[in-house]
Structure 1
Amino acid sequence: MDDSVLLRFLNNGLINVGGDDTKLAKLSQAANDLASELKKSPSKAQSFSLIAFDPEAPENDPIVVEALAALQARWTTYRNTFSSTPIAVIRAMLLDALVTAAEDDDRVGVCFVASARNALPRLQADNERDIWADVVNRIEAKVDIRAEAEWATPASVTIAPMSYDLPKIKALSVTAGTTERDRLQNEMMAAAGPQYHDSRSGNAQTGGNQYWPQGSPTQWVSDFGRLSAAAVADAVDAAIAEIEITQPDLSGPLNQLAKQVSSYVDDTLKSVSAATAGLQRRTSLLWWKEALFSPTARRSYRALPVNVAAAHMALDLFNEVPLFSPASVVAFLSETVRQLPGTEQGKDRMIRELVTEAQDEASLASLRLAAADLVGAPDGRGPLLALIGHPDHARARAEDAFQILTGVPADARLDPVAWACWIFRELQASKAASDSSSAKRRSKKG
């Protein structure tokens, strides 16, 4: 799509600025201001989208008022060009702002596409369809690239080798023992005979071997062997006892190694888990589809009224998949709902009746709670979830306010399959509009 949204609206005759390029420039500036505001507050993406879709958007809607203020800031005399509130211009500006913001923030893209897939089939203005189709397809393709990447399962998982810096460990320290030579000498002399000669005191008794080898060689050998062996053994034992071996302290390096191994294994498991998340998710969804059991209702979908079961299916699938999910997920939901008895006839009901059922059905309390967490009470144009999540709000059940608050005609109808897809898309769009952390903002260069 080479032309800007505003220019395409102009070329299709949907807005008229009297052929004045300066006025078109002012519209473009106002649309950029709205895009900047949307980037600051992505939560407005859903309301921006729902007003942009509707040629009959109410003039007093808060988003219309905000867009008019942006136009007034850039084009003070715009009222001289338009005889009434220029809803077509406002819608074109909002769409242009959504396209610009979606280029930078994938959350805006998810919110816009999910809302568009619900609203556009009911768009009455045929001369706008080509513009909307181009915009939706372009943004959906961009979001799907990211979603498919997050759901993909690689053929192999590459794990980097563990790196470990060997610590410097002190060498083993050995302190040798020594033999007491004087003591060993005295004991050896005692083993050798009864006496020895001392240069200072003369002959002295050894107190050991009482035989000389000349007189009693046999007895002498016996005593010499016994006493000398004991002397040498005692000397060796004493020397060994004095040897000291100082072990290096390995507790620090071993603790560090354990931490690094633990961290490496943890990172490896995370890498494998992340790489196979898509496969695990698909496996879980296939089990869910085959079991046809609702985690929120705690019973089989077949045991519930068909439209109630369809609403539960939308919520259960929403709880199982991430914000960025490929378009095929909605097709998966459609095929799952078609397994329910009663869907083959294709019977439909008024959307207002389906909303009332969701407001009152006891088993759909979980849907009401999720809707209340994601969407505020009805205040200007918003999703059906605003009415479902806040059933006690003064305008949540007002018949005359239904189309004003939702943009959905009071007589619009849906079958169970379309109802499930509608709720799922609104849950995804509302999550994208309210979630400020799960999606990374990406620059236009990215």
Structure 2
Amino acid sequence: MERNEIFYDWLRAKFFEIEDNDTRLQQLTAAVNDLAAILEKDLHEVRCFTLSALDADIPITNPSIVATYELVKKHWSSIEGKYPEPPRGILRGIILSALYQLGMKDAELCRIIYYTASGYSQFVRFGNEQSIINRILKEFGKDVEDEALAEWSLGDAPIAPTPIALKLKNLSLELKLSSTEVDENELKKALTEAAGVEPRHNHGPQNGTQFWSPHFGSTASAGIAKAIKTAVNGFGGSLSTNTLETEINNYFTNINNTLNNAFKASFQSLLAVERRSKLLWWKETLYSTTLRKSYREIDAAVLPVVMAIDLVKLLPDVTPVSVDYLLTDTYRAVKHDASIKQPLSKLLACFEDEEQQKLLASHLPMLTDCGERTTLTLFLTQVVHDQKSLKKLTHYTGLRADVEASHQQLAVIVLHDLLTERLIQEANAA
């Protein structure tokens, strides 16, 4: 297993508080591995644990913190004697290390962690571990971006494969044939018999050709024919139909693979063109397929959420960061004051407005719940359905009500939440 750099960053920063105790190091490493093994089987929990680990002020009663504490106690049984209450810093370090370990080996988990964390990173308080979390976001962001650029690339493939592009090798059959030889002994025996006395009239060569010549001709020709037939049959036996089939099948398999590769590259390029065309059409029309009205007719306060809901329908699971900018630029094209920031409590107040609640109630998706620490999108859905109050924003999301944000930032958070939810639902359905 590769070295977990986030674990050692946390260790070097002395957040684990274990000094140079090798036993403690092994115990915490075992806890990280145990947690990673558990989270790997449940993508929903990956998101929940990510949300919990991001917040330096996460309550020690949070389910993710409690579950991690129980794992640590299995390896470090005396931890309760050292700390009067669960050590939040150590437990968050365990969670972040496990998440990093998962994201480094699995692209899908990397996307879930990055989409979850990137939208919230500018609004939650990280504390002294800011640089460590920034490292996770930077590395995972690069991995997601590289994967997205490869998937969205137009490539150099032609629209249709040409004979020149196929570059097929000539058909070459390699057959191992046995040598062909006439059995000299058998042939000699047959010719000797033919040259002997004609048995019916007891005539030999000296008696002329009337009786002996036909005898010699028929007997000699029969012997020669038999010798040749035996030799040819032996040669034919060395020609294996299996060998011919194998060589020919291999040749056409190569043709098939070449065609598949050519069509795959062409199809990938066509998909990329189609995606870009849909996004450009969406930006040009400024039309909500969800509410069936122009974006210019929708209140600026709820428009970020509506646009994110529309946009996610056009996107695959992997999207480049440029899509975030497409979203924010499109919002700015509709509402020219999009960059103005205001406290989250004011920015989100519209979701308690009865008219806006009626507008959004049937369109805001009910995302998978993480309980005491959940996504902003699910929280807003619950507010719209009068299940929660905006006064509980910080309690449930970790986002401080007084932190300033723009409508554009809200749109990106919702988009990332929806992308993450789709990844989780697809994994559960598989």
TM over 0.5: yes
Who is 1:375 aligned against?
368
Please give the per-residue CA displacement for 1:163-183, whole angstroms capped at 9, x wherever unaligned: 9xxxxxxxxxxxxxxxxxxxx
Opposite residue 33 of structure 1, the aligned amino acid is D
Give the 3 Å change call, closer, same or farther, for CA 33–266 of structure 1 in structure 2.
closer
SS at match of 1:14: coil
Opposite residue 25 of structure 2, the aligned amino acid is L
Opposite residue 423 of structure 1, the aligned amino acid is V
Residues 1:114 and 2:104 are matched in the alignment: no
Following superposition, the deviation at residue 392 of structure 1 comes to 7.5
SS at match of 1:339: helix
Please give the per-residue CA displacement for 1:416-445, whole angstroms capped at 9, x wherever unaligned: 111111111111222233331799xxxxxx
Which runs of 5 or more structure 2 residues have no equivalent in the other structure? 169-258
Please give the per-residue CA displacement for 1:261-285, whole angstroms capped at 9, x wherever unaligned: xxxx999987644331111111111
Who is 2:423 aligned against?
432
Give the 3 Å change call, closer, same or farther, for CA 10–132 of structure 1 in structure 2.
same
Percent of pairs with identical residues: 24
Superposition map of 1:34-433 within 5 A: 34-125=35-126, 127-157=128-158, 159=161, 272-344=266-338, 346-351=340-345, 354=348, 357=351, 361=356, 362-368=358-364, 371-372=365-366, 374-376=367-369, 379-391=371-383, 396-397=388-389, 399=391, 401-433=392-424
Following superposition, the deviation at residue 405 of structure 1 comes to 1.5
CA contact (8 A) 2:49 2:95 kept: yes
The separation in 1 between residues aligned to 2:427 and 2:13, in whole angstroms, is 36
SS at match of 2:268: helix
Who is 2:227 aligned against?
none
Opposite residue 368 of structure 2, the aligned amino acid is V
CA contact (8 A) 1:108 1:433 kept: no
CA RMSD, 1 decimal: 3.1
The separation in 2 between residues aligned to 1:359 and 1:150, in whole angstroms, is 41
User: Which shifted more, 356-365 or 307-316?
Assistant: 356-365
Following superposition, the deviation at residue 301 of structure 1 comes to 0.7
CA contact (8 A) 2:124 2:398 kept: no
The separation in 1 between residues aligned to 2:425 and 2:319, in whole angstroms, is 17
TM-score after normalising by structure 2? 0.70
Please give the per-residue CA displacement for 1:3-49, whole angstroms capped at 9, x wherever unaligned: 62222112113230143121122111101111111111111111111
The separation in 2 between residues aligned to 1:366 and 1:395, in whole angstroms, is 15
The separation in 2 between residues aligned to 1:345 and 1:89, in whole angstroms, is 38
The separation in 1 between residues aligned to 2:162 and 2:105, in whole angstroms, is 32
The separation in 1 between residues aligned to 2:84 and 2:301, in whole angstroms, is 45
User: Which shifted more, 58-67 or 359-368?
Assistant: 359-368
SS at match of 1:121: coil
Give the 3 Å change call, closer, same or farther, for CA 40–356 of structure 1 in structure 2.
farther
Following superposition, the deviation at residue 316 of structure 1 comes to 1.1
Residues 1:11 and 2:27 are matched in the alignment: no
TM-score after normalising by structure 1? 0.68
CA contact (8 A) 2:157 2:265 kept: no
The separation in 2 between residues aligned to 1:430 and 1:407, in whole angstroms, is 19
CA contact (8 A) 1:49 1:112 kept: yes
Question: What is the aligned length?
Answer: 334
The separation in 2 between residues aligned to 1:270 and 1:19, in whole angstroms, is 54
Give the 3 Å change call, closer, same or farther, for CA 62–343 of structure 1 in structure 2.
same
Please give the per-residue CA displacement for 1:387-410, whole angstroms capped at 9, x wherever unaligned: 2333487862262x4322111113
CA contact (8 A) 1:108 1:432 kept: no
SS at match of 1:408: coil
**Looking at CA atoms only, which structure, 1 or 2, has the larger radius of gyration?**
1
SS at match of 1:306: coil
CA contact (8 A) 2:110 2:140 kept: yes
SS at match of 2:17: coil
Following superposition, the deviation at residue 89 of structure 1 comes to 0.9
Opposite residue 375 of structure 1, the aligned amino acid is T
The separation in 2 between residues aligned to 1:80 and 1:32, in whole angstroms, is 23
Who is 1:205 aligned against?
none
Following superposition, the deviation at residue 364 of structure 1 comes to 2.2
The separation in 1 between residues aligned to 2:47 and 2:29, in whole angstroms, is 21
Opposite residue 382 of structure 1, the aligned amino acid is T
CA contact (8 A) 1:57 1:404 kept: no
